[in-house]
A and B are shown apart, each in its own frame.
Chain A
Amino acid sequence: MEQTEIKMSGKDVSVSYGEKQALFDVNLDIPAKQVTALIGPSGCGKSTFLRCLNRMNDTIDICKVSGDIRLDNQDIYHRDIDVVELRARVGMVFQKPNPFPKSIFENVGYGPKIHGLANGKAELEEIVVKSLQRAGLFEEVKDRLYEPGTGLSGGQQQRLCIARAIAVSPEVILMDEPCSALDPIATAKVEELIDELRENYTIVIVTHSMQQAARVSQQTAMFHLGYLVEVDDTDTMFTNPSDKKTQDYITGRYG
């Protein structure tokens, strides 16, 4: 295999919610400018792992994370790390589109504004337009930028959330089942977008759709009961996985 740059890495990552341990000693490298898919049955820990990558778990009081998670070889759980800045570098898109109850423009412009990425209105406008274009949404909304984002269709709202995530120029984008609430056409548009975003961003996606993981990712990691069972390049994973649990899960023999 050719040498690829590692953007993020998890070493011996364990996570507990109170008494209950959700992740056990996970070791996983996230290669730069690739899509890594995390798969596995519900409750396997894939979303928990995803949430460790930008410290979303910090917001849950009883959640305890141990181990070593690095972004560009820098410990993101170090006490000198500014979590707000971290989340600007590692953005997130959720399962259900969650636009702010504000205009389309403000939805995308909010992040760059509070992070001070734009000097003046013209620059902010440029960022907003560019982000919407990158998210493949601009053409559809250019005439109603000041209408509420909540008035868009589900698929458009999800692309708006992706535009919002990329507006702050993140390096990594985490996606937690970004298409599970979308119809097949909207799903196809988001998948197409993921493929384009890969050129500039490192993407980690949690998905319940095996076919989606096979279509959009280059690396796939299989989780089961809190353990990382197998990780391999996606093509191998879906034609010839090594682990029986992976085999059973992706062929529909699990449980």
Chain B
Amino acid sequence: MMGEHTVKAFDEDLNFLISKISEMGGNAESMVARSVTALVTADKELGKSVVKDDKILDALEQEVDDHVVLLIARRQPMATDLREVIGALRMATDLERIGDLGKNVARRAFQIEDNLPPKKLLRGLQHLTNVSLEQLKDALDAFVAKDIEKAREVWDRDDEIDSLYTSLFRELLTYMMEDPRNITYCTHLLFCAKNMERIGDHVTNLAETIHYMVTGSNDIASENLNDL
């Protein structure tokens, strides 16, 4: 573990960034979880709360941005500090995008109206969502613990999300072909599935960034091979 800076305010600056990123992570996680619940239960109020929360996440990202710019101007960070600051900036961008994707899913809760899709159509989406959320949670844990092993595992598991998405895509397509009345909400569900898959990609970025912050190497993949 790193010791303390001679200039104590520098430690406070870095800790502030870490706490803001954790806060963003928590918010993004909750938004995504609630957005899918809102969708599958057609809960418009819940959907609205997610859309509203996106503003909070945007403001947090802005706060991280401003803080990073000031910190660089004031302290000219080097080595691990520099990587942590740049990493925080990158993570804030990915987390904000994850929030946007959640908001997009929440909005669809208004459009599905009262004709809820049959349960069996929702099962696949819920599973995909759970896996994506699990990944996000693990990535945030890896960030707090600076655990590159965990970050690597997250990075490796993205393939799972991709294949879940592909099979869900086929499933939804089959339902649409079976009965054209399914097309409207199957299309909504397809977009939602795509969003969950995109969230998985952002989580992959998070894992790469965490790896970079801790090791200084951008190449999370090749180190995997070296370990074999």
Contact = CB atoms under 8 A, between A and B. Distances in A.
A189 B67 CA distance: 31
B117 interface: no
Interface in A215-255: 238-241, 246-248, 250-255
Nearest to A242: B216
Contact of A250 (B2, B7, B79): B79
Given A239-B83, A239-B216, A210 B2 contact: no
Nearest to A241: B79
Given A239-B216, A240-B216, A247 B6 contact: no
B111 interface: no
Given A239-B82, A239-B83, A240-B216, A251 B5 contact: yes
A252 B7 contact: yes
Nearest to B3: A253
A62 B145 CA distance: 53
B76 A247 contact: no
B76 A211 contact: yes
B3 A210 contact: no
A86 interface: no
A248 B3 contact: yes
A83 interface: no
A214 B78 CA distance: 10
Interface in A182-208: none
A206 to B, nearest CB: 18
Nearest to B82: A239
A222 to B, nearest CB: 11
B26 interface: no
Residue from the set A210, A240, A254 with the largest chain B CB neighbour count within 10 Å? A240
Interface string A91-130: 0000000000000000000000000000000000000000
Given A239-B216, A240-B216, A251 B80 contact: yes
Interface in A131-175: none
Contact of B6 (A239, A240, A252): A252
Interface in B201-227: 215-217
Residue from the set A210, A250, A251 with the largest chain B CB neighbour count within 10 Å? A251
Contact of A253 (B2, B83, B217): B2
Contacts of A239: 78-79, 82-83, 216
A254 B81 CA distance: 14
A252 B76 CA distance: 10
Contacts of B10: 252
B4 interface: yes
Given A239-B216, A240-B216, A255 B6 contact: yes
Given A239-B216, A240-B216, A252 B5 contact: yes
Interface in B74-92: 75-83
Contacts of B4: 253
A254 to B, nearest CB: 7
Contacts of B79: 238-241, 246-247, 250-251
B216 A251 contact: no
Interface of A: 210-211, 214, 238-241, 246-248, 250-255
What 4 pairs between A and B have smallest CB-CB spacing? A240-B216, A250-B78, A251-B81, A253-B3
12 contacts: A238-B79, A239-B216, A240-B217, A248-B2, A248-B3, A251-B77, A251-B78, A251-B79, A251-B80, A252-B75, A253-B2, A253-B5
